[in-house]
Structure 1
Amino acid sequence: MEPYFFLSYARRRGPRVLVKRFYDDLCAELRQELRRLHKGNAVPFGRPFLDVQSIQVGQDWNAALCDALAHCRTMLALYTPDYFRSDFCGREWKAFEDRQRRHREVTGVDAKALIPVLWEPVQNIPSGAAHIQYDNYDFGENYARWGLRRILVADPGGEEYRRIVNLVAHQTLVAAEHFRILPANGLDLTGPQSAGPFPSAAEPAEPGSHALLLVAARTSADAHKASTDPGCHGDSPTDWNPYHAESSEPLARRATQLLEERGFTVRTEIVSDALAVTLDEARGQGQVAVLLVEASAAAAEPFNRALRAYDRSNHPGSAAIVPCDPDEAGDGARGKAYWEAVRGALPFNWAKGAGDPLPLLQSGIGSDQFDGTLHAVVAKAQNHLVSFLETSRLDALELPRITTAALPVLSTAASPRSRTGLAPPIAARPSSPLMPSEKEQEDDP
């Protein structure tokens, strides 16, 4: 089956109830349109792809994602500031754009099957996406100013929301039924050749960007007690070098140089029982934080207590990397001890990372992966931090006004209609009280 559409969006931490609501409403709209179009006859309806619903527990998420992107009829991109800061969303965008380009080269037809939906206002569209027209007069002034997400929050069953869903469904129906763009073979989103047109994780940081490195590692004295190779330890935890067979440079220094090359101001500290306070202060100052964790150190005090508290706290703007050497990456006794230590110290982050294309807990990272992993998680942690701070600011400034009255509906707004000549597919619902703004903090791509 070909998914009727692929919903591409920035995967935030926390509830995704509004994304799921839009997905369900759009699916219901399309089913009714198809029944009417085919005069009531049953027609195959390739289940539209939504990652949290379409990828089953235990399934290879990358294979499932690639298969859906390679065969879907259309792709809907939910525009948000986070979407255009997401490396993985950029990869999804490129994969589908490549399919459209190939279809155009083979058939001479521009399918226009990549359909933008303005979910939240976006100030700057990257040049790689600027050629796609996303603003439409038919969608109304509120849509252009506030985005569909806020219209949905203001009045979930309202006429304006239903009208916009109807218009999106029409665009999707036309592209899916009339063009059927060619599938892709051997699609892989993880390789460097799959990087999308959005700013990459390794691009220069914004002026004034700060990063905090927090090291949890043993010293050479501690390592000797455990009869562990002392070659990767020194007098301080910041001397730890898990890749000492390849380089004499401590990991914290390597990470500092990588981030300073991008324009970050970097500060390094050792993980302590004051970790939560340190992270709160960093967040308040707009600093992204990265924990560099030695698995063996994470399993014992003084670090285990601090790391488990961090694991429960879900600090916005932070990430953790747990490097490993080749022996720890294998199936032997050291490998088993490594993975048990990671799961034991950071169980919640371990569970949250299942199925995430880019989890904020990165474990099993070898020397050849470290640089790219550091850049990627810093970019994602920055996005989370920006989203958290923006949401906090908007909640403080706008929540009283949002919760007292629904968004005004334009007097010139057309009633729901179908350009296929069909009756409006979504039945009118009684106007419901304004939903409180839920706090969504990502994820992803």
Structure 2
Amino acid sequence: MASPCPNGTRARRRVFTQDGGRVSDSAQRAPDHRPYFFLSYAHTPRYGGGGPDPDMWVERLFRDLCGHVMAMTDLPAGAPAGFMDREIRSGEGWSERLGEALATCRVFVPLFSPRYFASEMCGKEWYAFAQRAIYHQAKHNRSAEAIVPALWVPMPPEHMPGPAKRLQFNHRDFGDRYVTDGLYGLIKLRIFAEEYEAAVYELAKRIVSVADSTRVAPGSPVDYGLAPSAFGRTSGASRPMHLTIAAPTRHDLPEGRAPDYYGKQSQDWNPYHPDSARPLAYIAQDLVRSLDYQATVSSFDHELPPAPGQPPGRPEILLVDRWALEDDDRCARLAAFDATPRPWVGVVVAWNREDPQSRISEAQLVEKLERTMPHQMSQGRAACRAAARGVFSMEAFGQILPQVVEAAAQEYLRHATAFAPSPSPGAIRPVRARLAGPTAGFGSTPCTSATRGTPPDAEDTDDSQS
């Protein structure tokens, strides 16, 4: 972790933390000295051959926020009020340091700007924190809205990805000039000095308030080599992703099966009970939405089988409970589903080995599923095959689901219907076929094959990121 140097400097790589130099009695007793916020921003490249560091203004904002947070809380001397990494290009271990900060910070503060949403690294940071909030809600069955956005450069909501547009946040609480000019405009122009101070003060108040009210638990550090970006598309088209649940209900359980993991509908299936207080379908839906998809959910029992040869209408994820195969009719329908190759459907088998009945019956049910759905069990990338063999914890589910979603989306693109638009009057050559409308939003699906330990500037020299 970053050392809390008062001047914020380190050799070759500067990691800034800020403290107020005093220790109160309550702070000495407090065990939680995690950073109050993680400042996520997009690096601005220098214009021309020289000039000042364009990110110096972000650094000033960070220091001002830290000063307010220290004044508003009882953090002891040396404890970081916030986290900001200014030079992740130099030095080693950048991904580990960022991963640790994202796993422990209390509030995530993204600096909105056009460059921010074009940054894959910023999208990875957003997803890493959003995943923590989803786990928190799953464990405690209450939401954890711990993302506090800040306008660095104002931009219209229609140009933002879905996860940013869905935030319930009123920027006008920080002042009208803040909304029209953003923090960059306020900090650059002296005539707006008072507006800048007021906006930063209100932002710090919001950070402290959200941190104290949500109390998102620390998580596991993210692996940046596998982490997806929350900013999945650059076009305005929506990207559908359907989740289908193949699981019993409490009314049709196999004889002797404990009802604790089930509800009135298949969508109520909660395989990771008691670790999770929410059904898996809604955890998966939140995770898929955090990847900038429009996620829908239904029961496999209520899905009509597609006609033979019918092209895909959307990519899908099939969440399977092996206990579902104990129903003969459902087992036959799953076998029929598997008989026609559907590479745009990813299969994830959620399985809780802490469940005594599942542990005892695992070998028998594994063999039955492999016999019933041999094609789906063996198709696709390594991550897809691993997901079909069984995912044994909620955390593992959150790590592997984005990879299955990515694979399903790519296969959907490969198999989607192509059509040739009518040639324009007077056209001599035929027009090349293009993908049908429903695929439009999938063109920017990000790959997640970056090697762990590779600094972001190795991927994008104009976007090394905090």
The interval holding the TM-score normalised by the smaller chain is: 0.3 to 0.5
Highest relative contact order (Cα 8 Å, sep 6+), 1 or 2?
A: 1
Q: TM-score, normalised by structure 2?
A: 0.41
If the length of structure 1 is used for normalisation, what is the TM-score?
Answer: 0.43
